[in-house]
Structure 1
Amino acid sequence: MVNCVTPLQEILEHPAIITHFQPQISLRRKAVIGLEALSRGFNAVTGEIIPPALLFAQAQEQPLRLALDRACRTRAAESFAALHRRDKSIMLSMNIDAACINEETRGSSHLLKLIKRCDICPSNVIIEIIESRCEDMDALLEFVRFYRKKNFLIALDDVGTGFSNLDRIPLLKPDVLKLDRALIRGVDSQFHKLEVVRSFVQMANRLGCLVLAEGVESGDEVLCLLANGVDVFQGFYFARPAPGLDAVPGMAAKVDALAERHRQDRTRRIAEDKRLFSSYDLTILTMCQGLAQTPSRGLNQAMTQYLETHDGVECLYVLDMKGRQVSDTLCDPDKLKKSKRFLYEPARFGTDHSLKEYFLPIQAGLEKFTSDPYISLASGNLCTTIARVFHHKSSGRHLILCADMSREGAVCGL
């Protein structure tokens, strides 16, 4: 507990600032690839560390904010320089107070001069920016363009929380997206969070930037994110911020253990999915064979019986080869959401499904298609839709049976 907070002016004059580093770890490489520099104040009288929140709370006026920001950067670069001389592969992540970037400061080149003075390669430095704190967007864009030309990398911090605006991503074109702890917390058990993460991963892959998950606190979070395309992690689960640059005891063993768990989990999940979808295929084939012999007016009754006898089937409906629904949607009443009925409503006879993900591959010539898991508009539950073509003998035409299969509990599965 801090009993006495050293006045900021005194901290800046000495300066009494120390840098703690927190590792950024690639699980696939099984290596620390970067260090984020995190600043703390130091009370020379009591010997106590001044936490960042208390330190930066003292810098309310613009001149003090700028002075503190530069002092923190200076200390971070000087602390990192010794490691950089030994290992040219490690990256340094430095936070920049975006509120300090304005018309007066953007042409100072202070950071570039500092990095050169410390003999650090600019391509080893990641500038972390929280764009929501910037009051001068033009100055920020010019700052980013200048430092990118000098081979610095740009990271957008706190993505997925607070006032972070997605429209800034195409403007800043970041090299790294740092997903905030608010989005990461509980991602292994919350489908909606996982889908947001997967969207960021997919976008990052297309834009050619790296996704880093910060604030990870459990192995289950790491494994879920790793299974869904995130490879670089930072958080208390691996190491707390600490002074010095020595290896964290036990971290290598933890990384090795997680990598092995990932290998085992993925192998097990692939085998489970293979068994699951084999059972799905058998169920769908059995139902298609029965429906092929059923008169058109008896389709609804036959599908009702299938719902009663086949576990895991939530909804059934039949389409023609143009994507038009030619049956009612029959659903297991015990699996329908009792709330939000204005959002989740089974499609009716005559509904056009011609643009649905599970219909277009059939139209392109596939006999069967299985969708990725999604929230069904019919039931409101997490499901997978399997569409299969069958020849309906009574009408003499080909039809498509669509079955929504329950995937509840399969949050981190792909």
Structure 2
Amino acid sequence: MNPRIQLDTDGQSVAVCEGFRIRSAFQPIISVAHQRVVGYEGLARVTDESGQAIPPDALFARIHELPHLVAVDRACRELHLTNFARMQFYPRWIFINVHPLVAMHGHQFGPFFANILEELQIEGSQVVVELVESALVDERQLRSAIDLYRSLGCLVALDDFGISGSQFTRLWRIDADIVKLDRSLIAEAEHSARARRTLPSLTAMVHEAGSLVLQEGIETPVQLALALNAGVDLLQGFGLARPALLDQAEPFDRAFLAEGLRQTSLETDRADFDLHQQIQAVTERFEDMLVAIERGVSVDKAARALLSMHLVARVFVLDGSGRQLGETVHGAFAPQTQHSRFQPLLQAEGASWVKRPYFRRAMIDPGVVQISRPYLSVAGGNLCRTLSYCRAHVPDSGIKVVCCDLNWADD
């Protein structure tokens, strides 16, 4: 196969390869914070000899020799870059996919990318090279590919992150500029409470690894809301804009994004209000319990009114080092701990909870009742949130931090 780039009648460059025609389509990448297009992903649109559209993967699947694969992959990249350069979209990004085998072995066939960037006068910093991390099993080859593109000033994005084969440890070693979360994650979150709950944590982990997060595959208002609530930086998907020629590309659906931002803001306000309403009564009884404990009443007696509430699961106390003093006192509505899948963990006297966020937050801000994010309780095997309170002044070495687990629905 020896693809050639030529100018089509509509002024766009196309690649011709043994009867196949490859055209560029560009899908906008939108910044949530800026609410504008900050880049485009170049996508191949392939037709066969009869003019029938075929998936790009089907074209590459027909290529069985590495030199031909490299030639076609390079033709696609040159095509996208040529059409992008014509529009003079500086400083917007152009996202370019590189076939995994070409990323690993393309250097054997001589220089290409540096030459084409120079010829088209495209700054390396405008180019985001997408690599499918899970397809590059050999980390040395992945590292080598990244170093090559970085030497040209390009940014690197890990594509389809989160699908089978993705390795989370690579986030810490590769230092990708952008991580593209696979569309399957947002689709799963639309129907799974567990996925919805963990998507913000995944986004936070990628942020802490030093990368921006791009959620691809946004198609519905629910998916948009989930992505916005998760805190992603960049968005891509049919719900915002479909791939098109750059000179025909309609603006992204600003109303779709604006409504998503408005709704998620309202939902956050409602959730905050509902949370406040739900725990206000619990907090009042929690504070009553604290007063009783200060007066010397035993924990199990001081907590009786609190533990009779439907939302309350259990109460326990910790010393200043985070170690539990005495056993946990369970309420009437605590999950059936005797049937817990975490039976070996149930006896908690002397256990150290020093690393738990509820303990650390209470110690940092004594005298103020704290509430944790939802997490899995080992005491009942249920999702819970924990109220915690650190006494501001402790006259002796007795109780230091009082904690109350709240039952929290998994939805």
Same fold (TM over 0.5): yes
Q: Which residue of 1 aligns with 2:77?
A: 73
RMSD: 3.4
Q: Which is bigger in relative contact order (C-alpha 8 A, separation at least 6)?
A: 1
Q: Which residue of 2 aligns with 1:232?
A: 234
Q: Alignment length, in residue pairs? A: 397
- Quick one: which of 74, 99, 117 aligns to 1:97? 99
Q: Which residue of 1 aligns with 2:8?
A: none
Mapped to 2, the partners of 1:145 and 1:220 lie a distance apart of 38
Identical columns (%): 26
Secondary structure of the residue aligned to 2:310 is coil
What are the equivalent positions in structure 2 for 1:162-311 lying under 5 Å apart?
A: 162-187=164-189, 190-194=192-196, 196-248=198-250, 251-292=253-294, 295-296=297-298, 299-300=299-300, 303=303, 306-308=306-308, 310-311=309-310
One-letter identity of the residue aligned with 1:64: H
Q: Which residue of 1 aligns with 2:38?
A: 33
Secondary structure of the residue aligned to 1:128 is strand
Q: CA deviation at 1:271?
A: 3.7
1:210-251 per-residue CA deviation (whole Å, 9 max, x = no partner) reads 110111232222223222321211122223333444343671
Residues 228 and 338 (structure 1 numbering): CA distance in 2 closer, same or farther, change over 3 Å? farther
Mapped to 2, the partners of 1:390 and 1:162 lie a distance apart of 47
Which stretch shifts more, 147-156 or 362-371?
Answer: 362-371
Instruction: State whether residues 241 and 251 of structure 2, in contact with CA within 8 Å, keep that contact through their aligned partners in structure 1.
Output: no
Normalising by structure 1, what TM-score? 0.83
Mapped to 1, the partners of 2:347 and 2:227 lie a distance apart of 34
Instruction: State whether residues 122 and 152 of structure 1, in contact with CA within 8 Å, keep that contact through their aligned partners in structure 2.
Output: yes
Instruction: State whether residues 189 and 195 of structure 2, in contact with CA within 8 Å, keep that contact through their aligned partners in structure 1.
Output: yes
Mapped to 1, the partners of 2:252 and 2:319 lie a distance apart of 60
Instruction: State whether residues 99 and 135 of structure 1, in contact with CA within 8 Å, keep that contact through their aligned partners in structure 2.
Output: no
Instruction: State whether residues 316 and 330 of structure 1, in contact with CA within 8 Å, keep that contact through their aligned partners in structure 2.
Output: yes
Q: Which residue of 1 aligns with 2:324?
A: 324
Instruction: State whether residues 353 and 359 of structure 2, in contact with CA within 8 Å, keep that contact through their aligned partners in structure 1.
Output: yes
Q: CA deviation at 1:76?
A: 1.2
Instruction: State whether residues 8 and 55 of structure 1, in contact with CA within 8 Å, keep that contact through their aligned partners in structure 2.
Output: no
Give ranges in structure 2 of 5+ residues lacking alignment: 5-14
Instruction: State whether residues 385 and 405 of structure 2, in contact with CA within 8 Å, keep that contact through their aligned partners in structure 1.
Output: yes
Q: Which residue of 2 aligns with 1:3?
A: none
One-letter identity of the residue aligned with 1:265: E
Instruction: State whether residues 25 and 31 of structure 1, in contact with CA within 8 Å, keep that contact through their aligned partners in structure 2.
Output: yes
- Quick one: which of 21, 24, 43 aligns to 1:19? 24
Secondary structure of the residue aligned to 2:357 is coil
Mapped to 2, the partners of 1:131 and 1:388 lie a distance apart of 44
Secondary structure of the residue aligned to 1:316 is strand
Q: Which residue of 2 aligns with 1:341?
A: 341
Q: CA deviation at 1:290?
A: 4.1
Instruction: State whether residues 3 and 71 of structure 2, in contact with CA within 8 Å, keep that contact through their aligned partners in structure 1.
Output: no
Instruction: State whether residues 316 and 403 of structure 1, in contact with CA within 8 Å, keep that contact through their aligned partners in structure 2.
Output: yes
Mapped to 1, the partners of 2:46 and 2:2 lie a distance apart of 10
Mapped to 2, the partners of 1:210 and 1:202 lie a distance apart of 10
